[in-house]
Chain A
Amino acid sequence: MSAGKQYIDFYQEVRDTIAARSSAEMNAQREPALETFSAKGFPSQKVERYRYVKVDADFSPNYGIALTPLAGPLPPYCFSIKDAAPHARVLYNKVADATDSIVALNTMLCVDTLVVHVPRGTRVEHPIQISNILKGDQDTMVCRRILIVMDELAEADIIITDRAASQNRFLTNQVIEVVMKDGSHLSLYDIEETHLLCTRYNSVFVQQGRNSSFRHTNLTLFNGHTRNRLDVLLQGEGSEVTANGCIIADKMQRVDNNTLIDHQAPACQSGELYKYVLDDSAVGAFAGKVLVREGAQKTKSQETNANLCATSSARMYSQPMLEIYADDVQCSHGSTVGQMDEAALFYMRQRGIDEQEARLLLKAAFITEVIETIPLESLRDRLHVLVDKRLRGELSKCEGCKLCK
């Protein structure tokens, strides 16, 4: 509770400033969020969904808090919440888990929401890219909020990248809400490439209508402490979700992925594939729950978590869960923790590939399975390069980008 108090005090100080800069929809949610946050504080490790993260420790350092609204021209289909269509705007904070302290903190302090709104029947040709760049001359906390509304039969690809341009401590609390109406399709790619001093709490909430399909790909290439939460509610019959993740961590990095796929309607499908490569003293955690509600017959679900620990000090926690209340279902999950195949290493060394290179090849091959699932060819190629660079220990800077320089 001690770490929580500084945020409550801060909010009470700047409450009016925030309200003046923000929209009515967002301001209306702040007081209930304050109540939730004051009552609950930061979750301890005894809370099942926060078993593997030290929330209190992550939030206790003293950060400056950024309170600036979105500025400048935004790409097509993207709006500040003030300018978004009314039927999209009202969905703010409707999908997110309002009882969660991290979400409540975001709702309290976030000044502006980026609304991505794809209207009915529109197919967005080129992927929409949202780049979050952390830059500043002091340690900063940012609360970001994104609301994606896909109207009926809309289709889009969205790429969100997280980068840090200066070597300060950063703490990001990001909440993404996705509302998918009947028959819509969305691919959401979330790529994190920050540095060791960055802590990121990212909570994604998705609500799917009939026959909609959602693909989420989470790539943690470089980070400090990361916690990703993904909650998908399959509310419409025949909807589909694919959630994949590829995590490369070394040094003292920590990556925690916590997913919930909630099958509420019949004939839905879900697939999850998360792969971790852990080196040095990295700590990885994966907890994925598939919940099949009563009446959600003909559900098909497959969950896989495979992990490679390259050193004896790397740690992996894996927890794939099934909770099923319907009988006509096919659900399975698998989880493995292991190390590199010595026979394969030997094979390569016999053929003149030195040991380091051989290990690298094996790691790359292991992680490639996730990248190969990405339908966007240009992104796939780019990621192959990034993963290769990452495994070689070269910190990749986005070439040709003016913002980070």
Chain B
Amino acid sequence: MGSDKNSFVREVAEKKYEYGFTTNVETDIIEKGLSEDVVRLISSKKGEPDWLLQFRLDAYRYWLTLEQPTWGHLNMPPIDYLSISYFAAPASPKTSKDGEIDPELMKTFDKLGIPLEERMALAGTAVDAVMDSVSVKTTFREKLQEKGIIFCSISEAVREHPDLVREYLGSVVPYRDNFFAALNSAVFSDGSFVYIPKGVRCPMELSTYFRINARGTGQFERTLIVCDDDAYVSYLEGCTAPMRDENQLHAAIVEIVVKERAEVKYSTVQNWYPGDSEGKGGVLNLVTKRGHLRGAGSRLSWTQVETGSAITWKYPSCVLSGEGSQAEFYSVAVTNNYQQADTGTKMIHIGRNTKSTIISKGISAGKSQNAYRGLVKVASTAEGARNYSSCDSLLLGSQCGAHTFPYMDVHNDTAVVEHEATTSKISEDQLMYCNQRGISTEEAVSLIVNGYAKEVINKLPMEFAVEAQKLLGVSLEGSVG
């Protein structure tokens, strides 16, 4: 890349997005465009078995019959699916399973503060790092293997544990689910696979770090987590991308299977490049995330802090079919400048005595639009189902928008479903109080916003909570006039 000098200048000029650098690694990118041949090429590059190729082709053929949905409260730039390259891999990934990785790549993840080296064991987190389309390094595998935990990239899982992958892949989000799910199923490149065997409590946080590096590519990763009876895992996901003046597409799928009495915590800090202050560029984050609480007494919680992306359109959902299963959704979504978010959750109660909680906090600043959209559905079989939803929006500026679209479909008389929402701005009194005590307005806003989001941030694991708090501050910089 010859524009090193320019990108340095840009970096300094636009300090707000800290992770906007690109890495000079040689990248193996396939031709732009999408066809059956491309799907076959991706599959053959990864040396996949026939059943997986068939799955991809079915998904691709189904995708061709669909049209991109338009119902979101979003102003989407048109996406030309034929001008995206569907596979990009750093040319020299891991040489062997435990071998050294490319020093340039290493530097990238060091800059991002991702502890890839085992000497960083103090951080106590196992990481699967995904750059563009492939997983570059997974740490702590041996230690996890002792307990029977499988944590690897999904490509490795296809090779080493084909039966497990085949059993669960597409069982929570089938390729017929929606437009973007079909696209992902056809071209997904890599992602993480986690299997926690019966009765095992995963001793450390598992983490995936996604980064889009190459130009003109999209990222289509796929995460599959299976948590067997009585097991527990806490899973973290982080994302960044370089600053580009074009829109980059990110259409991922996360599937989680939770069996009897098992518990999964899934936390996301999403900080894809949000575009510049004029609304140019940025990542289109169109993700399908769903957990299936299959077993009795199972638990799943989604915690998300969304500060990045030009457009965020996702609804991490829970299907509660196990009796007495419990699901939680905690979300902070911050939008600034021209960012747009239409995000929320779906809680589908099927089993008896199932419970769900939704806490959503939206913060809009600049000229951004921030919408909460959520569905709580209680099927006629869900005796004694209980849901509590609370959605608050905070407006910082007179040109931004905050919207709430809750849907409640109740088909059972024993269900109790509650929803409440408020929208307001930071009161003059609160600001005045802080100013009087020598706290500048900008600091005061950051203080108040952090207090407002605390309910959600407290649910994040320690390291993430610190990062999330910093991100909130950075994202809102300059939004107080």
A interface residues, Cβ below 8 angstroms from B: 48, 294-295, 297, 307, 309-339
B425 and A318: CB pair below 8 A? no
B419 and A339: CB pair below 8 A? no
B404 to chain A, nearest CB (A): 4
Distance A315 CA – B411 CA, assembled complex (angstroms): 5
A336 and B423: CB pair below 8 A? no
Distance A331 CA – B395 CA, assembled complex (angstroms): 11
Residue B96 lies at the interface, judged by CB distance under 8 Å to chain A: no
Contact with A along B126-158 (1 / 0, CB 8 A): 000000000000000000000000000000000
For A321, give its contact among B404, B412, B417, B418 (CB under 8 Å): B404
B424 and A329: CB pair below 8 A? yes
B410 and A316: CB pair below 8 A? yes
B408 and A321: CB pair below 8 A? no
B414 and A339: CB pair below 8 A? yes
A330 and B408: CB pair below 8 A? no
Distance A23 CA – B395 CA, assembled complex (angstroms): 50
B298-339 residues with Cβ-Cβ distance < 8 A to A are none
For A334, give its contact among B399, B412, B420, B423 (CB under 8 Å): B420
B405 and A336: CB pair below 8 A? no
Residue B406 lies at the interface, judged by CB distance under 8 Å to chain A: yes
B377 nearest in chain A by CB position: A317
Q: Which residues of B contact A325 (CB under 8 A)?
A: 399-401
Chain A CB within 10 A, most for which of B399, B407, B408: B408
B306 to chain A, nearest CB (A): 19
B421-437 residues with Cβ-Cβ distance < 8 A to A are 421-425
For B425, give its contact among A309, A314, A317, A327 (CB under 8 Å): A327
A282 to chain B, nearest CB (A): 11
A366 to chain B, nearest CB (A): 14
B415 and A327: CB pair below 8 A? no
Q: Which residues of B contact A311 (CB under 8 A)?
A: 413
Distance A338 CA – B416 CA, assembled complex (angstroms): 5
25 pairs of residues in contact across A and B, judged by CB atoms under 8 Å? A294-B398, A294-B399, A297-B398, A307-B410, A309-B412, A310-B413, A311-B413, A312-B413, A314-B413, A317-B407, A319-B408, A321-B403, A324-B403, A326-B395, A326-B398, A327-B398, A331-B424, A333-B404, A333-B421, A336-B417, A337-B415, A338-B415, A338-B417, A339-B413, A339-B415
Q: Which residues of B contact A337 (CB under 8 A)?
A: 408, 410, 415-417
B408 and A322: CB pair below 8 A? no
A332 and B420: CB pair below 8 A? yes
For A312, give its contact among B380, B399, B418, B420 (CB under 8 Å): B380
For A329, give its contact among B399, B408, B421, B423 (CB under 8 Å): B423
Q: Which residues of A contact B396 (CB under 8 A)?
A: 327
For A327, give its contact among B395, B416, B422 (CB under 8 Å): B395
B196 to chain A, nearest CB (A): 36
Q: Which residues of B contact A320 (CB under 8 A)?
A: 404, 406, 419, 421
A309 and B419 in contact, given A321-B405, A327-B397, A337-B408 (Cβ under 8 angstroms): no
A328 and B425: CB pair below 8 A? yes
For B398, give its contact among A310, A312, A328, A335 (CB under 8 Å): A328
A336 and B422 in contact, given A312-B380, A324-B393, A325-B401 (Cβ under 8 angstroms): no
Distance A124 CA – B410 CA, assembled complex (angstroms): 44
Distance A174 CA – B58 CA, assembled complex (angstroms): 49
B386 nearest in chain A by CB position: A338
B401 and A324: CB pair below 8 A? yes
A316 and B403: CB pair below 8 A? no
For A323, give its contact among B399, B403, B409, B425 (CB under 8 Å): B403
Q: Which residues of B contact A310 (CB under 8 A)?
A: 413
Q: Which 7 A-B pairs have the closest CB atoms?
A: A327-B395, A318-B408, A309-B413, A332-B422, A322-B404, A334-B420, A335-B419
